[in-house]
Amino acid sequence: MKNDDIIKVLDILEDTYPEAECALDHKNVFELLVCVVLSAQTTDKSVNRISPELFSKYPDAKALSEADQADVEEILHSIGMYRTKAKNIISLAKELVIRYHGIVPNTYEELVELPGVGRKTANVVLSVGFGVQRIAVDTHVFRVANRIGLVSEKDVLKTELSLMDCIPEDRWSKTHHSLIFHGRSICDARKPKCKECPIADICQWDQKNI
């Protein structure tokens, strides 16, 4: 996609989804980090349903670090991979207490060393929690960015790097959220609503699908 068309797509998506932001309910960076870890292969709505109980019982890293895994599993049991996630967030909390006095670190290198934290999670925390311009590539961003023609890549990392290359840095975080909202509301994986799409005339997906 040409640079002019890329900017046009970004403008249209931002105008279409002015409310686009992190959909995970959180009150601070610690809650954000835990919620993003829990959201892997699970919907944000599912995480939002269980997070109030989790944080009312374990409001900070110290409390969660001392939690019994069975108790945490009971709270998380309705979301996918709840046993692994319970183990990860307890281990994560212990690392925060031991290495960072219970405070979430604000660098990519430190974040990805925490249990259960990968590249996408670290990028979301940096963007939403610390206001750093980042593009976190989840399934929606990967699908939409490659489908509409912003990039043409076969894996998540290359998609992230290509998006960083073609999108102005001061728009990285906003673009991340706009692409997610577009993927959820219009550009569905199985049944994209191409006739309702605000960027259909620019989109480079096979036009016979429209």
Assigned architecture for domain 29-130? Orthogonal Bundle (1.10)
d(CA 82, CA 31): 17
Triad 22, 26, 32: Cα angle to 5°? 75
Q: Binning pLDDT at 50, 70 and 90, where does residue 198 land? A: very high
Q: What percent of the chain has pLDDT over 70?
A: 98
Is the pLDDT at 173 greater than 60? The verdict is yes
Place of tokens 């006095």: 101
pLDDT band at 1, cuts 50/70/90?
A: confident
What residues act catalytically?
A: 120, 138
Domains 3-20+135-209 and 29-130 are alike in CATH topology: no
Closest by Cα among 138, 84, 106, 139 to 33: 106
Which residue matches tokens 């105008």?
15
Terminus-to-terminus CA distance in the chain, angstroms?
18
CATH 1.10.1670.10, applies to 3-20+135-209: yes
Count the residues in the chain. 210
Q: Is residue 207 predicted with pLDDT exceeding 90?
A: no
CA distance 79 to 48: 11
pTM of the model: 0.91
Residue 12 has pLDDT above 70, yes or no: yes
Domain ranges for the chain? 3-20+135-209, 29-130
CA–CA gap between residue 190 and residue 52 (Å, rounded): 32
* Chain mean pLDDT for the chain: 95
- Name the pLDDT band for 206 (thresholds 50, 70, 90): low
